[in-house]
Amino acid sequence: MRNRLLERSKEEGRVRSRLPEFTKDEIESLKGSADFLGFNHYMGFLIRNRLPEEYNSKVPIDDLDGGYVIAMNPKCKQINPPKGWIFINPESFKKHLHYIRTEYGNPKVMITENGCMNHLDEELNDVTRIEFLRVHLVALAQGKDVILRN
């Protein structure tokens, strides 16, 4: 990502990357400075590299910078189709927790946000939201090697 943003910045006529780099002193002073990592998770996406012919003026700048295309996993249940934006994807929850554990030295994690809106026709008997929370709690239990903070 650093290299990609440096190249994009050069294409824009900038003398340095829009993504500033930390100094060695800043990196050292930040190590171990957090009490925990706060984690918000609602759903995951499928991501692939953007093909050259897929670049055009309608592509948002964030997508251009990343050079990717996002798609929903067709195996996941959509809440409030066809316009709902949340999909039930507990596997993504579990994979993200594993990634945090392995890539960041297993820090203490506080799940600060997780959940979904109720299904349009489930005002009182919101079985979809119950299912969302149930499968995410199961995924959390399966990722028991992650240190959770309460």
Write the DSSP string, 23-92.
PHHHHHHHTT--S-EEEE-S---EEEEPPGGG--TTS-HHHHHHTEEEE--TTSEESSTTT---EE-HHH
pLDDT at residue 1, as a whole number: 85
pLDDT at residue 150, as a whole number: 65
Q: Exposure of 148 by Cβ count < 10 A (0-12 exposed, 13-18 middle, 19+ buried)?
A: middle
Which positions ≥6 away from 104 have C-beta within 8 Å? 37
pLDDT at residue 125, as a whole number: 87
pTM of the model: 0.79
pLDDT at residue 36, as a whole number: 93
Low-confidence ranges of the chain (pLDDT < 50): none
* Pairwise CA distance, residues 70 & 98, whole Å: 21
